[in-house]
Every structure is written in structure tokens, then in C-alpha cells.
Amino acid sequence: MFIRPIKISDAEQIVDIMRQPNVLPNIVSLPSLRAASFETRLRNATSENHDFVAEDNGKVVGMIGLSQGKGRRAHTGSLFLFVDEDYHGKGIGSLLLQKVIDLADNWLLLERIDLTVIETNLGAKKLYEKYGFKEEGYKAGTIIQNGSLVGEIMMARFLPGGRIETSD
């Protein structure tokens, strides 16, 4: 398993993962997403976008993206993560999170990383908690998932020993 920066040529494999029956309901995407649209997103990435993929024997099996805030929010970042359904439970999410947390803590000095996780995706929530993410709130009915409205759990992780004081 190898974690590396994303390439534009990865777009089709990534979109194929995003459309998988056990991935699509847990991400904010639609089954109509086209590889060309995703390629455009990659081509237009800015210096604040940090995207990595997990590769197994030449096959992309997961992706993580960290977007650093701008201006007065430059000390923050937001992330998303998804893994090929055939690789769920095999540590790919952990490897991707470790890569981005290292980048955030040791290269970008981000004080805060936040994300949302769909309330039905308990495995992802547990993974995020393992890496220090704490629940901050809940947004009811924000996502359409298989014909129903479901909510998102807002979570954040703070730089250990950083400047943000939390009431843990």
C-alpha cells in the first residue's frame, strides 16, 4: 500500500469508487458525477488543496482531501475521505488520515481540522474519533441518502499542544 499525491490521471478510478453502492450514500456526491468534471476539479486545484490517494498494486483504493482555509482562517482545514468498498476495514482510512494529520500538524501547522460525517456512517465516525476528532454538533436533514433525509455530525480535531483551548 502506498499513499501519494493525487494525479489528474487518477480521476476515472476515483469517480468509480465514489459511485460504489457502499461509498456513494456516505459522501456528498451524486451518481451522475463524471470523470471529466472531477478532472477539472483536479486541474483547478489551488495551493490550499492537498489531495492524496491510497494505491494498491497500481489501483487507486481511497482518497483523502484537505482544504486549508484562507486569510484569517489559514490556521484551519477541512477534510473528506472515502475508501473503495472492497478495502473497507483494512486500514486504508487510517493510512490516509495519518498522512493528512502529519501534513496538517508538521507542515501546515493547522490548529484545527474539521469534517462532517453522515450520521449513518458509524464506522467512519469511529475512525475519526480514533484520531482525536471530537463531535461538535449536528446538522439535521442536510443530506439526501437513498430517498431519505439524514443528518451530518460535525467533528473537529485540534493541534495537540496548540493555541486553541477546548473543554475536553
Query: For every one of its 168 residues, what pLDDT tens digit does the chain have, with 9 covering 90 and above?
Result: 999 999 999 999 999 999 999 999 999 998 898 999 999 999 999 999 999 999 999 999 999 999 999 999 999 999 999 999 999 999 999 999 999 999 999 999 999 999 999 999 999 999 999 999 999 999 999 999 989 999 999 999 999 999 987 776
**Has residue 136 been placed in a domain?**
no
pTM for this model (two decimals): 0.93
**Has residue 6 been placed in a domain?**
yes
The whole-number pLDDT of residue 166 equals: 76
Displacement of CA 40 from its chain's centroid (Å): 19
The whole-number pLDDT of residue 165 equals: 77
Q: What angle do CA 163, 160, 78 make, to 5 degrees?
A: 80
**Has residue 119 been placed in a domain?**
no
Number of domains present in the structure of the chain: 1
- Helix, strand and coil content of the chain, in percent to the nearest 5, comes to 30, 35, 35
**Has residue 160 been placed in a domain?**
no
- DSSP letter at 140 equals E
Would you say 25 and 146 are in contact if contact means Cβ atoms under 8 Å apart?
A: yes
CATH number of the domain bearing residue 50: 3.40.630.30
**Has residue 72 been placed in a domain?**
yes
**Has residue 20 been placed in a domain?**
yes
Would you say 139 and 148 are in contact if contact means Cβ atoms under 8 Å apart?
A: no
**Has residue 81 been placed in a domain?**
yes
- Structural domain boundaries enclosing 25: 2-112
**Has residue 139 been placed in a domain?**
no
